[in-house]
Amino acid sequence: MSAISRCETLAMLPRMAKLLLLSCVVALLAGTASAFFLHSLVWATAMRDSHRYLLCLLPLAGFVVGWVYLRYGSRVEAGNNLLIDEIHDPTRIVPLRMVPLVLWGTVMSHLFGASVGREGTAVQMGGALADQITHVLRLGNADRRILLMCGIAAGFASVFGTPLAGAVFALEVLAIGRMRYDALFPCLLAAIVADQVGLAWGVQHTHYAIQFIPAISGWTLLATLAAGALFGLVGKLFADSTHALAAVIKQLLKYPPLRPLLGGVLLLAIVWPTGADRFVGLGIPVIVEAFQQPLPPYDFAAKLGLTVLSLASGFKGGEVTPLFFIGATLGNALSPLLQLPFSLLAGLGFVAVFAGAANTPLASTFMAMELFGSEVGIYAALACVASYYFSGHSGIYRSQRIAHGKHRPFPRGLKLSELAAWRQRDQ
């Protein structure tokens, strides 16, 4: 090693040590917040299951959450997209009030029966808590970006118990076709520590088991690619439908609290008379069933529709766990057609629909190996990559930038939300 290289390495060490120490602080805060949040969700789900009449209060709960966000949360309404924007173009510190608002709003959604997830809440809490540290220490934009990414990694890892996937997700979700390797070490440490902090607070993650993984053959690879393509199309349908319906509802109802009120009325009208309670909330029992036994082939469509309605009308939560539900039940339904074990296809759908909808094939592959074992790695990678390509340039996070187009070149840094307008100008 030359003298110049040694000097550069030594000069880097103090900054890296500072970032690693701060990433552990972020992980401690995010892991603790996620643990409290997950325990709250367990309580809310148990209350809703034992007191079905709470579903009748869903429209009122939606109105209250919408009013509180209008009055106190307009700055943090964008949620995950706000964090992505701040990492790309730092402007203002993410307000600390994002933490209690999104936590309370999500628990309300689950308590009264909206079909939403939990990852968005954990990621937003992690990012907001991380940004308070950057503000107190007056860190520059470069270090601030890394700590915000650590908050995302810590939130994701602690809510799902998947530290490798959490770290890679924080690097991969920012831009399509590019990863931020300068934040790899801090994000990895933050994800690992946050996961351990959650476990120390008594968090228990659901166990999913793929009962049988067949030997690799021409047919199993071809069937996996076909399933991955379908998973990607469904992920695209989910993302595009959510954004399109949200735009329609915003155009019809100018007063924001009325949007979740309307959504709550529609959800109640669907769920209450049909007894479709298994499709509200997280739906984890149904996901577990998808690994254990054949399920009705329409389950994925029911969950997709209710989740799109819930999110588009303004209920707080996340998209990822509903995507797990949609993918697992869709994979279960594809088993007779593709002649693959239903538990394997349930596992592949679990991660691949998310990979297509979030444009995160690597994080989704790591998640599969953490949840189901390394033996599923080749199948998971094929399904997630196929899903990623077939989902096109759409996604659940509208602030994602396009660094490298999947099928054609685009202007570097173009947001997914700006893509439609760019295409019109380009024509």
Q: Is the pLDDT of residue 181 over 90?
A: no
pLDDT of residue 1: 52
pLDDT 10s digits, 142-157: 999 999 999 999 999 9
Cβ partners under 8 Å of residue 382, min gap 6 = 221, 224, 225, 228
Q: For residue 424, name the pLDDT band (cuts at 50, 70, 90).
A: confident
Same domain, 175 and 259: no
Mean pLDDT for all residues in the chain: 93
Say which residue the tokens 């030594």 belong to: 10
Q: For residue 408, name the pLDDT band (cuts at 50, 70, 90).
A: confident
Any domain includes 418: no
Same domain, 109 and 187: yes
Any domain includes 422: no
N-to-C CA span, the chain: 53
- Which domain range does residue 131 map to? 16-201
Length of the chain: 427
Using only C-alpha atoms, what is the Rg of the chain? Answer: 21
pLDDT of residue 130: 96
How large is the average pLDDT for residues 157-165?
97
Q: What share of the chain is helix, strand, coil (3-state, %, to 5)?
A: 75, 0, 25
Any domain includes 426: no
Same domain, 183 and 285: no
Say which residue the tokens 């309307």 belong to: 262
DSSP 314: T
Any domain includes 393: yes
Any domain includes 319: yes
Same domain, 184 and 302: no
Same domain, 284 and 251: yes
Taking residue 1's Cβ as centre, other Cβ atoms within 10 Å add up to 7
Same domain, 163 and 24: yes
Whole-angstrom Cα distance, residue 44 to residue 108?
Answer: 8
Same domain, 194 and 246: no
Where does a domain end: 167, 201, 235?
A: 201
Residue 63 and residue 261 in contact, taking contact as beta carbons nearer than 8 Å: yes
Cβ partners under 8 Å of residue 196, min gap 6 = 31
Lowest mean pLDDT among 7-11, 57-61, 222-226: 7-11
Any domain includes 353: yes
How crowded is the C-beta side of 67, counted as CA atoms within 13 Å?
7
Q: Which residue has the higher pLDDT, 2 or 190?
A: 190
Q: Is the pLDDT of residue 427 over 90?
A: no
Q: Which of 119, 110, 104 is nearest to 154 (CA)?
A: 119
Q: For residue 405, name the pLDDT band (cuts at 50, 70, 90).
A: confident
Tally of structural domains, the chain: 2
C-alpha distance from residue 205 to each of 34, 161, 332 (Å): 12, 6, 22
Any domain includes 414: no
Cβ partners under 8 Å of residue 144, min gap 6 = 90, 131, 134
Q: For residue 426, name the pLDDT band (cuts at 50, 70, 90).
A: low
Whole-angstrom Cα distance, residue 393 to residue 405?
Answer: 8
Phi-psi category of 296—alpha, beta or left, where left has phi over 0 and alpha has psi -120 to 50?
A: beta
Say which residue the tokens 């992920």 belong to: 235
DSSP notation for 65-108: HHHHHHHH-GGGTTTHHHHHHHHHS--SPPPTTHHHHHHHHHHH
Same domain, 280 and 159: no
Strands 401-402 and 175-176: parallel
Q: Which of 206, 41, 160 is nearest to 112 (CA)?
A: 41
Where residue 84 sits, what CATH number does that domain have? 1.10.3080.10
Same domain, 74 and 191: yes
Whole-angstrom Cα distance, residue 236 to residue 353?
Answer: 9
Distance of CA 351 to the CA centre of its chain: 11
Same domain, 180 and 282: no
Same domain, 148 and 271: no
How large is the average pLDDT for residues 63-67?
97
Whole-angstrom Cα distance, residue 138 to residue 40?
Answer: 33
Say which residue the tokens 């869709």 belong to: 330
Where does a domain end: 146, 168, 201?
A: 201
DSSP notation for 12-69: HHHHHHHHHHHHHHHHHHHHHHHHHHHHHHHHHHHHHHH-GGGGGGHHHHHHHHHHHH
Phi, psi (degrees; rounded to nearest 5) at 415: -75, 155
**Greatest distance between any 2 Cα atoms in the chain:** 75
Residue 294 and residue 225 in contact, taking contact as beta carbons nearer than 8 Å: no
How large is the average pLDDT for residues 383-407?
92
Lowest mean pLDDT among 313-317, 369-373, 399-403: 399-403
pLDDT 10s digits, 114-148: 999 998 999 999 999 999 999 999 999 999 999 99
Any domain includes 328: yes
Q: Is the pLDDT of residue 9 over 90?
A: no
pLDDT of residue 299: 96
Where does a domain end: 201, 233, 260?
A: 201
Same domain, 126 and 274: no
Taking residue 248's Cβ as centre, other Cβ atoms within 10 Å add up to 11
Q: Which residue has the higher pLDDT, 427 or 414?
A: 414
Instruction: Fill in the amino acid letter for 200.
Output: A
